[in-house]
Amino acid sequence: MANDGPAILVVEDEPPIAELIAYTLRGNGWDVRVSGSTAEGWQALQESIPDLVLLDWMLPDQSGLRLLHRMRGDPHFRALPVIMLTARSMEEDKVAGLDNGADDYMTKPFSPRELVSRVRAQLRRRAPEHDEKLVSAGIVTLDPASHAVHVAGVRATMTHAEYKLLRYFITHPNRVLSRGDLLDRVWGSDVNVELRTVDVHVLRLRKALGAAEGYVRTVRGAGYLFSEQ
Ligand code: CA
């Protein structure tokens, strides 16, 4: 039954798991729809845009990663929070999921309590840096509505992870941000990603920023600082 709470789309093919998730989330007053394949999930997204998607990795028609990729390539779903669900626990799979635009990652089996806290954290994180207003710093302009980044008027191409990192930097300028802060705020506090992953993404972001690469500064022993000066 529809209600006023946040709408969550669950793409999961195993009925007992889908039922447990739906029961738990509905118990929190959230509106839940369940799809059993990537095709059904894509169809559900066309019908109405949810506030968050819980996406299983192993689905009968295609990998959940494919649906994630398709979503991130579409301006309507690019900013939608996605939590990947999987039985896999390999670190490289987590990194692959996050690199492909997942906002968080949960390994099965998980408790209803963990599920609620992770969903809540993602819904909460849709704040100031999730504002839809155009943000700019020096020659860099970021448009949250279209996810377009321009450097001196020229469109810069970057992955979703680099975009999120830039969005956080640009909305929190002129302050030292530790790698831990960035992991916490950009990837989510309970995501098991190594600190050096942040360095890799900072390097890629600098490259993507071209003439503005100097805006992202390394503060030795402390982290990074974003400044247009
Ligand atoms: Ca599955």
User: For the chain, which ranges sit under pLDDT 50?
Assistant: 1-3
What is the pLDDT of the chain when averaged over all its residues? Answer: 87
Alpha carbon of 68 to ligand 1 centroid (Å): 15
Handedness of CA 188, 192, 194, 200 (dihedral sign): negative
Rounded Cα gap, residues 161 and 202, in angstroms: 10
Does the model's pTM come out above 0.75? no
- Ligand 1 centroid to residue 75 C-alpha, Å: 27
pLDDT of residue 123: 84
- pLDDT for 180 equals 86
At the second CATH level, the architecture of 135-226 is Orthogonal Bundle (1.10)
CATH of 7-129, one of 3.30.950.10, 3.40.50.720, 2.40.50.140, 3.40.50.2300: 3.40.50.2300
Q: What is the pLDDT of residue 43?
A: 94
Distance 117 CA to ligand 1 centre (A): 22
Centre of ligand 1 from the C-alpha of residue 159, in Å:
26
Nearest to 104 by CA among 120, 90, 116, 122: 122
Measured in Å, residue 18 CA sits from the centre of ligand 1 at 10
Which pLDDT value is given to residue 153?
93
Rg of the chain, C-alpha, whole Å: 18
Task: List the chain domain ranges.
Answer: 7-129, 135-226
